[in-house]
Structure 1
Amino acid sequence: MTVALSTDPTAGVWAVYGGVMPYYTNVLEPLIWVSDDMKLVPWLASDWTSTGEKTWEFTIRDGVKFHNGDTLTAEHVAWSFKTVLNEWSYAPGWLHVKPENVKVLDDRTVEFTTTDVFPTFPGTIAHNMVAIQHPERSRENKEVIGTGPFKVTDRKKGQRVETKAFEDYWKGAPNIKSLTYRAITDPTTRALALENHNVDVAYSPPTSKIKSLSNNNSTKVSKQTSPGAMYVGLHNYKEPTSDPKLRKALNYGTSQAKLVKSILNGVGLPARGPIAKSIYWSAHEKLPTYDRNVRKAKQLVKKSAYNGQELTFLVSNGTTSGRTIATALQGWYDEIGVNVKISQREEAAFADAVRAGDGHLVLESSSSNSGAADYLIYETFHSKGDVNERLYKQNGTGLYNPGGKVDTLISDGFQTGDKSEKEQKYEKALQIIMKDEACVVPLTYQQYVVGSRTDVKGLDLRPINEMVRWPGTKHVKQ
């Protein structure tokens, strides 16, 4: 079976793993997996527990074999974490752990001491980028040694990774005997490769091809709601979007349902908030539905500080359909009397412009590829979160942050491991963000699309698309 990916599975960033991407390929595995309903699942760790305010102990599963035949131990786990923490400068901050604070207690137990109180540590490492590998893997020879259901047999830089089933896999041998992952970066080319049966599965075909792939007797399309959301960030500290009345007017001027149906070809779900509804604390059901109301939007514009000035709408070239989405919004906002100019820029220039506070409106998206998604609300809406600190020194708070009460609620939610308490705190914060202050205009809860041949059965997609599972997938004769 051949899978067409939109990204290169041999990219240089994956040298730490012997040159093979841990996403999608099922060659490498983390300690914790994430289920199809975003719950944590014991994986290479059979159990974990908090043993102190900042300490965690993980029990390593018995009987797991590496592709070279060695048995997984706590030493392998500690070595893997230290390697990643030393490899990527951002990893210690992201994981809240320093290399020296990963300790082997015995053959089956690893202790992690976090740099601060961090109840979401288990969910944060439920992430394929924190994969467990054997120390004998070779960066120089591009050899990867993992524990997954498939092991690498060959790779061609920039083109493909070839694997075969690992018969000694701890969860049983896979149905498929071999899997090849091809890098096909152009979406139209991926769709054509699927139609011509050069591949069996193709990630992210263009939305314009979804209908034809669905109507083709030889191909089918699957949609999976992800933990991602798209929204328009409104600069809360730059006139005139500093006025909540104008921000609410822009919300009333937007039709999420029409955007999904007409502009995005049915890919995505209309959003109420900036956090995907698949994340349990998103408060989706309890957030206001502004709905498009031109009359009310016009009234709010007249009452606001807006006096006809041109608002800059920053859009990145790297955002799929970004220009199309921005153009639709521009038309809707013109109808309510708000003049918007689209400024589309290369990704680096876009990031610089956002940091400099150049835009009134910014087309943003957020997503989690780990089991713990708390950082989504912290980084964007806490005044000291990464996104907000772009302007923190200039105005004393963040780009989309409404102030002290939201900071307190987010901090309290971030520091608790109690799910119901976390949900309550984040819900209150999101109510302020969306209902009281209208800090952003939510657009869609994102979905990703996978095309496949009709003889491919048992495709096991997950909300976190990097965590797709292939062992149960198989070819069925038509």
Structure 2
Amino acid sequence: MKKTIVIFTVLAIMALLSACSSNSAEGGTDAPKQVNLLFNFATSSLDPHVDTSYVPLRAGISETLIYLNDETLEIEPWLAESWESEDGENWTIQLREDVQFQNGNPMDAQAVKASLERAMADNVAIQNALRIESIAAEGFELQIKTTMPFPEFPSELVHPNTSIIDVTESDFINKPVGTGPFAVESFTPGTAVDLVRFEGYWDGAAKLEKARFSFNEDANARSLALESKGADIVFRPEVETVEQLEAIDGVTVESTSTFRVHQMTMNLQRESLKDVHVRQAIDALIDRETIAETILSGHAEVATGPFPSSFSFAPDYPEKQYGIEAARSHLAQAGYEEQDGVMQKDGEPLTWTLLTYSARADLPLIAQVFQSDAGQLGIDVTIEQIEIPEEHMAANRDWDLTTYSNLTAPRGDAGYYLNATYHPNGALNFSGADDDNLTAMINELNQVVGQQERSGIAEEIASYVDEQMYNSFVLHPNTLVAYNSDKVKNWTTTRSEYYMLTNELDVK
């Protein structure tokens, strides 16, 4: 039955993508130059200011003021030409003067001001992240005042939800008007967005005439779509199919280290998880080496904290004991003991609800491994599948754990993740962390300039998070992308996972 379902799924994908599945060499000299990229998250909205899948930026519809260089991990001008501040609180941002929106309107300071103000009004997380008190606009210059000295303010303008769009166009969900190389031709929520080249793009018109950015959350179906040529580029094919795909003539598979971490997010508002010893037991139960080798087939680095070991702000963590007996010892310190095969305290069995989601195929498998290992200690773990993790975790508090994946340093700095995840106002603080000591450390970090000093404070924060075991970190997965290299030219697998359909992408 499962095989039949997959076959029908692939046939459906092929039907949806067939209009874009051939290049000029296959479809004749009049066929437009185009590609179709199959992504692992679906979206029902293209609104750049609230879409958590960041499709508008990834699909080349919208752009941000500032760009992250994947190689140097430094921020660079994009729609903004320059920025400066003498006190970290009053900022002058000079915009490019040669940029127009896809409807022909100029991207001047008033338009950017309106876009940023809408982003903050519609997205509380962006409002909290930017800390903007006021914006003044004149010509192509912005004067921005933050609510406090905030030296790292420019790096927040890398975030996809700060994308600049023309807010005088009202159909944000189906047809946002940005400044990128591709304009929206049509959008089918949950299925695909069809794109057409924007001839007036400021950095030179795209080499492609058309593109399709389509969605399927089934990793196996994505792999099969590439095999059948129903898709040209597949983001995160099923790990088990990598060798099979590599064996196909004309298919290239790239495995690239990223800034991402798979973590076990803990709901600190749940009674059992208020005890640090219980949280330490959860951490001890996670068999990282086995997960990395079996579920990820080695396309991952075992995680000791939120940041990959190559970053300057990743501390040297103390050695820990892992395994069933180590977890049992931590639980004993919390007052739990196993009786008649059930882990309990004061006669109450220890049970957890574990959330997971299929858009990242390895997360449900990690959840199953954890469920099995916890069962050996007499802990009943109920796995619940959800659709959009950010929305579900924010709106519901009746869960204990979530296998979750997050970019921890997409701007080459620790500040983003630490603010978003552990500050009380953080956009990704699904754990409900509200620790005065931790908040004070993060606030101190926010006012420090200079990477060396910032790295030192970030190390202290990461070490403190480790001591308190606010969340547990499993591994840093590589980004896997497979594509038809007989057709596709100039594809780049970025570590940030932000930039995908660019004006340089081409077909042979």
Which TM-score band applies after superposition, normalised by the shorter structure?
0.7 to 0.9
Normalised by the size of structure 2, how large is the TM-score? Answer: 0.77
Q: CA deviation at 1:117?
A: 3.3
Q: What residue number does 1:30 align with?
A: 64
CA contact (8 A) 1:201 1:451 kept: yes
Secondary structure at the aligned position of 2:421 is classed as helix
CA contact (8 A) 1:224 1:461 kept: yes
Q: Is 1:452–2:483 an aligned residue pair? A: yes
In 2, Cα distance between the equivalents of 1:465 and 1:72? Answer: 26
CA contact (8 A) 1:10 1:21 kept: no
Q: What is the 5 A alignment of 1:162-173?
A: 162-173=194-205
Given residue 326 of structure 1, which amino acid in structure 2 is its aligned partner? Answer: A
In 2, Cα distance between the equivalents of 1:194 and 1:389? Answer: 35
Secondary structure at the aligned position of 1:22 is classed as helix
Q: CA deviation at 1:111?
A: 1.4
Encode CA deviations 1:10-68: one digit per residue, 9 max, x unaligned: 62645999xx9423111221100111143211101011112445321111123234334
Give 1:78's match in structure 2, choosing from 69, 92, 113: 113
Given residue 305 of structure 1, which amino acid in structure 2 is its aligned partner? Answer: G
The structure-2 alpha-carbon separation of the partners of 1:302 and 1:129, relative to structure 1 and needing over 3 Å to count, comes to closer
Q: What residue number does 1:394 align with?
A: none
Given residue 442 of structure 1, which amino acid in structure 2 is its aligned partner? Answer: F
Q: What is the 5 A alignment of 1:38-57?
A: 38-57=73-92
In 1, Cα distance between the equivalents of 2:458 and 2:212? Answer: 42
Give 1:59's match in structure 2, choosing from 77, 90, 94: 94
Worse-superposed segment, 231-240 or 107-116 = 231-240
The structure-2 alpha-carbon separation of the partners of 1:194 and 1:413, relative to structure 1 and needing over 3 Å to count, comes to same
The structure-2 alpha-carbon separation of the partners of 1:174 and 1:278, relative to structure 1 and needing over 3 Å to count, comes to farther
Q: What residue number does 2:130 align with?
A: 95
CA contact (8 A) 2:284 2:321 kept: yes
Given residue 84 of structure 1, which amino acid in structure 2 is its aligned partner? Answer: A
In 2, Cα distance between the equivalents of 1:8 and 1:293? Answer: 36
Secondary structure at the aligned position of 1:466 is classed as coil
Given residue 318 of structure 1, which amino acid in structure 2 is its aligned partner? Answer: Y
Which consecutive residues of structure 1, in runs of 5 or more, have no partner in the other structure?
Answer: 392-397
Q: Is 1:290–2:317 an aligned residue pair? A: no
Q: CA deviation at 1:369?
A: 8.5
Give 2:186's match in structure 1, choosing from 127, 146, 155: 155
Given residue 351 of structure 1, which amino acid in structure 2 is its aligned partner? Answer: M
Q: Is 1:442–2:466 an aligned residue pair? A: no
In 2, Cα distance between the equivalents of 1:126 and 1:176? Answer: 25
Q: CA deviation at 1:459?
A: 1.4
The structure-2 alpha-carbon separation of the partners of 1:442 and 1:167, relative to structure 1 and needing over 3 Å to count, comes to same
Which consecutive residues of structure 2, in runs of 5 or more, have no partner in the other structure?
Answer: 1-34, 339-343
CA contact (8 A) 1:84 1:91 kept: yes
Given residue 193 of structure 1, which amino acid in structure 2 is its aligned partner? Answer: A
Given residue 381 of structure 1, which amino acid in structure 2 is its aligned partner? Answer: Y
Q: What is the 5 A alignment of 1:29-428?
A: 29-37=63-71, 38-97=73-132, 101-104=134-137, 106-135=138-167, 137-139=169-171, 143-152=175-184, 154-158=185-189, 159-233=191-265, 244=276, 247-248=279-280, 250-277=282-309, 281=313, 283=314, 286-290=316-320, 292=322, 305-308=335-338, 309=344, 310-318=349-357, 320=360, 321-333=362-374, 338-347=377-386, 351=393, 355=397, 359=400, 361-367=401-407, 371=411, 374-382=415-423, 385=426, 398=433, 404-428=436-460
The structure-2 alpha-carbon separation of the partners of 1:175 and 1:111, relative to structure 1 and needing over 3 Å to count, comes to same
Worse-superposed segment, 420-429 or 184-193 = 184-193
CA contact (8 A) 2:87 2:149 kept: no
The structure-2 alpha-carbon separation of the partners of 1:262 and 1:251, relative to structure 1 and needing over 3 Å to count, comes to same
Given residue 135 of structure 2, which amino acid in structure 1 is its aligned partner? Answer: V
Q: What residue number does 1:395 align with?
A: none
The structure-2 alpha-carbon separation of the partners of 1:145 and 1:383, relative to structure 1 and needing over 3 Å to count, comes to closer
In 2, Cα distance between the equivalents of 1:182 and 1:239? Answer: 42
The structure-2 alpha-carbon separation of the partners of 1:239 and 1:135, relative to structure 1 and needing over 3 Å to count, comes to closer
In 2, Cα distance between the equivalents of 1:117 and 1:141? Answer: 34
In 1, Cα distance between the equivalents of 2:193 and 2:331? Answer: 55
In 2, Cα distance between the equivalents of 1:146 and 1:235? Answer: 37
Normalised by the size of structure 1, how large is the TM-score? Answer: 0.81
CA contact (8 A) 1:81 1:130 kept: yes
In 1, Cα distance between the equivalents of 2:482 and 2:167? Answer: 36
Q: CA deviation at 1:344?
A: 1.9
Secondary structure at the aligned position of 2:60 is classed as coil
In 2, Cα distance between the equivalents of 1:442 and 1:226? Answer: 15
Encode CA deviations 1:289-348: one digit per residue, 9 max, x unaligned: 53646666666565663322243333224254444213323444566xx33221223548
